[in-house]
Amino acid sequence: MAMDSETSVTGRGMWTAIADVLRGEIAEGARAPGDRLPTEARLAARFGVNRHTVRRAIAALVEEGLVRTRRGAGAFVAEAPTEYPIGARVRFRRAMEAAGRVPGKRLLSTETRPASAAEAAPLGLQAGDLIHVTDGLAMADGAPVALFHSTYPAARMPALVEALTRLGSVTEALAACGVADYVRVSTRIAATAATPIEAGHLNLAPGAPLLVSEAVNTDLNGRPVEFGVTRFAGERIALTLHHS
């Protein structure tokens, strides 16, 4: 479809007409979820308009949730969020595999240090007790979907950081440190906007919505083994509550 001028569509702005064309292509399957849209320059040439007009059309599709933009990468047809169940036995790897995604994790930093009072409380420790602290990225099909920040009681599991680095799995690392099984006993979910640093890690625009999950995991005797704060990309993950 070619358009020679930005006033050739009577009664409507050209950006609206361009949005209609792209919306139709998405609905018809000509552009599949995850596909990258042509650059602004190519779309401007196709429709015979300036790049500002194209940018406005894409912004309208972003507002509708049909298109996502990634900093430095361009605009993409939005994918349906992956369902992530929140229940007593939450396991990231299992959830992603059940959704047909390939899970992965990448540690960004680890340290062992004294806990603050706020960090100690959910782990049943005293301020000043040693904790392991890990930060990292959770991936699905190679793309980041969440940032995680977890703390663990160091005295009980002195080799945990080494196990996490070697095994890449919290479940396997805890098992290697003597915690054969664990369950989630509390979850708090809130919404926030991505900071520039968070957005950079998750390939989002600053201010994009994040779902924040704060959770305590215990062994089967009720002793806390992990307190985790996970920031999920709101456009890529849908949290679902499972009642047992």
Q: What is the domain-level CATH number for residue 149?
A: 3.40.1410.10
pLDDT for res 186: 93
On whether both 180 and 197 belong to a single domain, the answer is yes
Residues in the chain with pLDDT < 50? Answer: 1-11
Query: Token pair for residue 51?
Result: 């790049």
Range of the domain at 48: 14-77
Q: What is the pLDDT of residues 98-118, one digit of tens each?
A: 888 899 999 999 999 999 999
On whether both 67 and 94 belong to a single domain, the answer is no
CA distance 176 to 88: 21
* SS3 call for 26: helix
Phi, psi of 105 (to 5 degrees): -140, 145
- Domain boundary residue among 28, 62, 77? 77
Torsion angle (degrees, nearest 10) of CA 100, 95, 195, 210:
100
- Domain boundary residue among 25, 47, 77? 77
On whether both 92 and 180 belong to a single domain, the answer is yes
Residue at 19 is within a domain: yes
Query: How many structural domains is the chain composed of?
Result: 2
pLDDT for res 244: 57
pLDDT for res 115: 98
Q: What is the DSSP letter of 129?
A: -
Side-chain half-sphere exposure of 106, counting CA atoms within 13 A: 12
C-alpha distances in Å from residue 204, one per residue of 167, 185, 197, 214, 236: 28, 31, 10, 21, 10
pTM: 0.74
- Domain boundary residue among 77, 102, 127? 77
Residue at 198 is within a domain: yes
Residue at 175 is within a domain: yes
pLDDT for res 201: 94
Query: Token pair for residue 133?
Result: 């602290």
Residue at 170 is within a domain: yes
Residue at 145 is within a domain: yes
pLDDT for res 243: 62
Q: Which of 131, 155, 123 is nearest to 219 (CA)?
A: 123
CA distance 214 to 191: 11
